[in-house]
Homo-oligomer: A and B are copies of this chain.
Amino acid sequence: MDDVDRKILAELQLDGRLTITELAERVQLSVSPTHRRLRELERNGAIQSYRAVVNPEALGLNFEALVFVTMGEEDRATLLAFEEAVARIPNVRLAQRLFGDPDYLLRIVTTDLAAYARLQDETLSSLPGMQRLTSTMVMKQVVDDRPLPS
């Protein structure tokens, strides 16, 4: 992991479909070693995947909420069951376990407020071990899933 590798990661976070030819020009190296470095970054897990960034509104997903979860039981089995249940809900884009209170943050997208209300009532509020939910509507994306800093 030298400066060239870091530059490759930076460029591919900005444009994940860069051709190796173009990438080679940007890192000032010929095609072969650029190709070799890229494959190695993929192999060793520095590059986890490639993704198209899709506009949620194009899919009619116009509503986003953050949910703060406080757990009632904190034993290992309950947390595992909670986390597996959360991972099975497709509307959950991000779920993080936190230190302190709340125990979890969930980032959730739905088509609209009504769909969210249904999701909370039918699914979220009966997650295993969950004691209390506090949810907040997102008004605006100020910084929207930016690349990692160098």
Chain A interface (Cβ < 8 Å from any Cβ of B) = 1, 6, 9, 12-17, 41, 44-56, 58-59, 61, 64, 66, 83, 86-87, 90-100, 104-106, 109, 136-150
Contacts and interface: CB of A to CB of B under 8 A. Distances in A.
List 5 A-B pairs, minimum CB-CB distance, nearest first: A12-B52, A16-B50, A46-B58, A90-B149, A95-B143
A106 B15 CA distance: 24
Contact of A51 (B51, B87, B105): B51
B51 A50 contact: yes
Nearest to A141: B96
Number of copies: 2
B140 A96 contact: yes
Given A50-B16, A143-B87, A9 B59 contact: yes
B145 A94 contact: yes
A45 B104 CA distance: 32
Contact of A149 (B61, B94, B139): B61
Contacts of A150: 59, 90
